[in-house]
């Protein structure tokens, strides 16, 4: 979704998985999904029956605090990140995702709740959402995507409570009219609870990054000018810096050079990458390759030398100089 033939539907991202499942065989710390992913202590299940095994529930606030005050700072300190973050979860994880949105709407830019267990504690999250929307002191500059699988609503496996609370939460959200809030609900009636995550993540990310995908025809027709305009507009909409991805610009430059015989437009794009990513060794070695391909050996050597100064291990630059 991020690079194939200029198909920039999502940005490059770091995926952080948090394992809340209990370890098999009794080894390990004994993680508790029910405790970590539920917002309140509740002892009834989806059908309203007593569920004493849920006695540890209600640890969601502590888990969110851990994510905000420990996990996110650790990721930011360890890796190259931006402040555009996405939270996604399935089932109890979907419940926790929507709890996080209501409790800390600015913690993430987008929330993807997959078949969320919104029946929890008699639909407590619906009440909390309504209170949040009444209190306009909270900024709601976020995107929310909620999905729902097909469910049995009769018999032993009656999940009508889950279906109704999910639809009600989505309805309240969609009718809120809160400035900056972009919410979307999508049902997948042919999927079941265990199969719906794949489609939900795909369409959820499309919602989260709606507007990111550049129009290919315009990019090819106007090159660097179109790229700069498009990503400047997306930055304004996203409310966060978002320079044109280096790999996308590099790919577009080579397509213009080789498929459309537009070397001048291609050169502008390679130079744009160097401007946006001055510490990138490969932005320079790619420009060196371009100069070599267009029979400008002196310019190619200069860019290869620059690339190796930034990163002596750049094999592309070394190979270019050896030719």
DSSP track, 231-264: HHHHHHHHTS--PPPHHHHHHHHHHHHHTS--HH
Q: Provide, rounded to the nearest whole percent, the portion of the chain with pLDDT above 90.
A: 72
Are 80 and 189 found together in one domain?
yes
Chain segment 266-313, per-residue pLDDT in tens: 999 999 999 999 999 999 999 999 999 999 999 999 999 999 999 999
What are the C-alpha distances in Å from 208 to residues 22, 104, 173, 310? 31, 17, 16, 35
Provide mean pLDDT across the span 163-185.
Answer: 91
Are 172 and 61 found together in one domain?
yes
With a cut of 60, say whether residue 30 has pLDDT above it. no
Residue at a domain's end among 208, 226, 246? 208
With a cut of 50, say whether residue 28 has pLDDT above it. no
Q: Where are the beta strands (DSSP E) in the chain?
A: 86-90, 110-114, 142-149, 181-188
Beta pairing partners, 146:
113, 185
| Cα torsion 136, 137, 141, 146: sign | negative
Summarize the chain as % helix, strand, coil (round to 5). Answer: 55, 10, 40
Q: What size, in residues, is the chain?
A: 323
Identify the DSSP state of 26: G
Are 158 and 253 found together in one domain?
no
pLDDT of residue 25: 45
CATH of the domain at 256: 1.25.40.10
Q: Tokens 């030398």 correspond to what residue?
A: 305
Provide mean pLDDT across the span 70-93.
Answer: 94
The edge-to-edge listing of strands for the beta sheet with 142-149 is: 86-90, 110-114, 142-149, 181-188
Are 116 and 252 found together in one domain?
no
CA 142/CA 148 separation, integer angstroms: 20
Q: What angle do CA 12, 15, 21 make, to 5 degrees?
A: 165
Chain segment 220-269, per-residue pLDDT in tens: 999 999 999 999 999 988 888 889 999 999 999 999 999 999 999 999 99
Residue at a domain's end among 167, 182, 208? 208
Are 137 and 255 found together in one domain?
no
Are 179 and 233 found together in one domain?
no
pLDDT of residue 24: 45
Are 256 and 201 found together in one domain?
no
pLDDT of residue 37: 94
Give the structural domain span for 315.
216-322
Residue at a domain's end among 208, 241, 258? 208
Confidence of residue 3 (pLDDT cuts 50, 70, 90): low
pLDDT of residue 135: 80
DSSP track, 103-153: H-TTS-SEEEEES--TTHHHHHHHHHHHHHHH-TTS---EEEEEEEE----
pLDDT of residue 12: 85
- Specify the number of domains making up the chain: 2
The better pLDDT of the pair 16, 12 is held by 16
- 92: tokens are 């109890």
What are the C-alpha distances in Å from 116 to residues 54, 99, 101? 17, 10, 13
pLDDT of residue 107: 93
Provide mean pLDDT across the span 166-186.
Answer: 92
CATH of the domain at 48: 3.40.50.1820
Are 192 and 228 found together in one domain?
no
Rounded to a whole number of angstroms, the CA Rg of the chain reads 24
Four-CA torsion 15, 16, 17, 20, nearest 10 degrees: -160
With a cut of 90, say whether residue 119 has pLDDT above it. yes
Are 92 and 111 found together in one domain?
yes
Q: Tokens 């996308």 correspond to what residue?
A: 248
Q: Enter the pTM of the model.
A: 0.87
Are 222 and 184 found together in one domain?
no
Are 99 and 245 found together in one domain?
no
- Determine how many CB atoms are found less than 10 A away from the CB of residue 224: 23
Are 230 and 195 found together in one domain?
no
Chain segment 128-140, per-residue pLDDT in tens: 999 999 886 666 8
Measured between its terminal Cα atoms, the distance across the chain in Å is 35
Provide mean pLDDT across the span 10-25.
Answer: 76
């Amino acid at each position: 979704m991020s690079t194939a033939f200029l198909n920039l539907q999502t940005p490059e991202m770091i995926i952080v998985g948090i394992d809340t499942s209990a370890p098999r065989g009794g080894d390990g710390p004994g993680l508790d999904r029910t405790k970590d992913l539920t917002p309140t202590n509740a002892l009834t299940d989806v059908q309203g029956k007593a569920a004493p095994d849920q006695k540890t529930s209600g640890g969601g606030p502590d888990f969110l605090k851990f994510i905000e005050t420990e996990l996110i700072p650790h990721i930011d300190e360890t890796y190259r990140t931006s402040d555009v973050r996405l939270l996604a979860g399935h089932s109890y994880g979907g419940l926790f995702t929507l709890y996080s949105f209501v409790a800390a709407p600015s913690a993430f830019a987008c929330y993807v709740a997959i078949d969320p267990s919104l029946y929890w504690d008699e639909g407590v999250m619906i009440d909390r959402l309504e209170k949040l929307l009444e209190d306009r002191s909270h900024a709601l500059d976020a995107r929310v995507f909620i999905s729902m699988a097909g469910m049995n609503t009769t018999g032993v496996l009656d999940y009508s409570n889950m279906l109704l609370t999910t639809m009600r939460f989505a309805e309240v959200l969609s009718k809120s009219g809160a400035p900056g809030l972009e919410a979307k609900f999508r049902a997948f009636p042919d999927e079941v609870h265990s199969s719906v995550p794949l489609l939900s993540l795909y369409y959820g990310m499309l919602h989260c990054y709606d507007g990111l995908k550049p129009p290919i025809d315009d990019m090819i027709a106007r090159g660097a000018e179109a790229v700069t305009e498009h990503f400047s507009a997306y930055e304004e909409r996203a409310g966060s810096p978002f320079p044109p991805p280096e790999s996308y610009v590099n790919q577009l430059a080579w397509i213009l050079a080789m498929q459309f015989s537009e070397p001048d437009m291609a050169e502008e794009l390679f130079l744009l990458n160097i401007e946006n990513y001055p510490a990138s060794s490969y932005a320079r070695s790619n420009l060196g390759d371009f100069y070599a391909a267009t029979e400008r050996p002196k310019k190619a050597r200069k860019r290869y030398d620059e690339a190796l100064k930034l990163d002596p291990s750049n094999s592309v630059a070394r190979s270019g100089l050896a030719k």
